[in-house]
Structure 1
């Protein structure tokens, strides 16, 4: 029997992509990265709609906010990977016998392909009555509001940073309106210096605020995630 001296039988080879006619170099590099990304491969194997599913999996493994029975709102949920994770973790399909059954609500500007165990709606969450719609669909307040939203890239790093911070601030404003006391807010931000006001705001309304870069985030990405736990609703005069 011939001995394999090349070593190719012992390890995976990196896929190289040639630049096709009409394809930009940046597109070729993106395609090559996708083909060699272990999280992309895992997502296909495990049935998730994208590699981003592993970001929320890793965050929840550490902070345990997607518990059976929880009511979860996923803002900007397309294509649906985060909803898929939430459905399993909060037992939305009732597959974990003896555990409370949770609810997963996904909203997005675009229509989302149905997700088993989740309810999805087309909605601009910045609309004036978005919070009331969300609470009506949930049948009450949420235990978790989460967001993996990012504005379309402009190619200018500082502009993109400001845009995603603005999205995160808007998501936080909705969370303040729909979260139960003690609830959790999870959102993607980009490191870049403009997130100080957001952090200050969250620390006023939550008992603990941390910033994390999960392993599934690409090393060359400036993204990180803010996890705010222990929501404190503002007291009204009527509460006295």
Structure 2
């Protein structure tokens, strides 16, 4: 049977019209939001025109950030079935969803090793199949970290994930210092709880302290790389430090 001829120009033109219609529809919805500020309307326009937002809805992810972790894992293989994972700053749970799927913590693959995911956030969020949720808890407090240790019950962690970020004050230097301090908190806990060859991912905002943080992480891991996934918006200062191959506890000199 003769295949129909596809007019590429028409296809591209139709895709262009669909994009324009999406943006136009978003603008109309934003403009119809009485009492909303312009910044709120701009945010809505960006959300409705964002392909990752729509894709997240289609695949039942709780938010678009799932694709950041999916891309990093596809490329660097930081999660595998049977892994124990700690997800810091987990709400609303999209990274936890990815981790539970990739480690088989949700038990969907019968013949694969079953992992475990522990997720913590200041906010309360809905349960994720296969994950243990600590909502309404501040990871940086001794109480929260003790609760995590008790839940792990002696098991070592194979991957520590952190998508944590402080509430922005608008003072750039202060915000940069705050997120860097969060990264060090996560690193300190990871060093105490990780298995040899474990992996680490922390979110950071570009600032002058990043090279030092990178060097400090490299003291304990075989490789450290700065990563900005495609799903991370181009106008955002965020990127991730991805460390692989935890060297294990540093031996005490004789």
**Counterpart for residue 138 of structure 1:** 152
Range with greater deviation from structure 2 (97-106 or 82-91): 97-106
**Counterpart for residue 44 of structure 1:** 57
**Counterpart for residue 158 of structure 1:** 173
CA distance in 2, matches of 1:103, 1:234: 22
Say whether residues 1:126 and 2:140 are aligned partners: yes
Range with greater deviation from structure 2 (80-89 or 161-170): 161-170
Say whether residues 1:225 and 2:240 are aligned partners: yes
Task: After TM superposition, list the pairs within 5 Å mapping 1:89-104 onto structure 2.
Answer: 89-104=102-117
Give the C-alpha shift of residue 103 in structure 1.
0.5
Provide closer, same or farther for how the CA distance between residues 156 and 22 of structure 1 changes in structure 2, counting only shifts above 3 A: farther
Task: After TM superposition, list the pairs within 5 Å mapping 1:48-197 onto structure 2.
Answer: 48-122=61-135, 123-128=137-142, 130-139=144-153, 140-197=155-212
Give the C-alpha shift of residue 155 in structure 1.
2.2
Say whether residues 1:32 and 2:27 are aligned partners: no
CA distance in 2, matches of 1:65, 1:227: 9
CA distance in 1, matches of 2:15, 2:223: 49
Task: After TM superposition, list the pairs within 5 Å mapping 1:2-41 onto structure 2.
Answer: 11-12=17-18, 13=21, 14=23, 15-16=26-27, 17-18=30-31, 20-41=33-54
TM-score, normalising length: structure 2? 0.85
Q: How many aligned positions are there?
A: 234
Give the C-alpha shift of residue 110 in structure 1.
2.4
Give the C-alpha shift of residue 116 in structure 1.
1.2
Given that residues 157 and 193 in structure 2 are in contact (C-alpha distance below 8 angstroms), is that contact kept between their aligned partners in structure 1? yes
**Counterpart for residue 4 of structure 2:** none
**Counterpart for residue 231 of structure 2:** 216
Give the C-alpha shift of residue 28 in structure 1.
1.2
CA distance in 2, matches of 1:10, 1:185: 40
CA distance in 1, matches of 2:213, 2:32: 41
Higher helix fraction: Structure 1 or Structure 2? 2
TM-score, normalising length: structure 1? 0.90
Given that residues 131 and 177 in structure 1 are in contact (C-alpha distance below 8 angstroms), is that contact kept between their aligned partners in structure 2? no
Range with greater deviation from structure 2 (88-97 or 155-164): 155-164
CA distance in 1, matches of 2:15, 2:152: 52
- Alpha-carbon RMSD across the aligned residues, in angstroms, is 2.1
Given that residues 48 and 84 in structure 1 are in contact (C-alpha distance below 8 angstroms), is that contact kept between their aligned partners in structure 2? yes
Given that residues 207 and 229 in structure 1 are in contact (C-alpha distance below 8 angstroms), is that contact kept between their aligned partners in structure 2? yes
Give the C-alpha shift of residue 169 in structure 1.
1.3
Given that residues 70 and 143 in structure 1 are in contact (C-alpha distance below 8 angstroms), is that contact kept between their aligned partners in structure 2? yes
Which stretches in structure 1 are left out of the alignment for 5+ residues?
A: none
CA distance in 2, matches of 1:209, 1:195: 12
Give the C-alpha shift of residue 136 in structure 1.
2.4
What are the Cα deviations for residues 154-173 of structure 1, in whole angstroms up to 9, with x where unaligned? 22333322221111111111
Given that residues 107 and 130 in structure 2 are in contact (C-alpha distance below 8 angstroms), is that contact kept between their aligned partners in structure 1? no
Give the C-alpha shift of residue 73 in structure 1.
0.4
Which stretches in structure 2 are left out of the alignment for 5+ residues?
A: 1-9
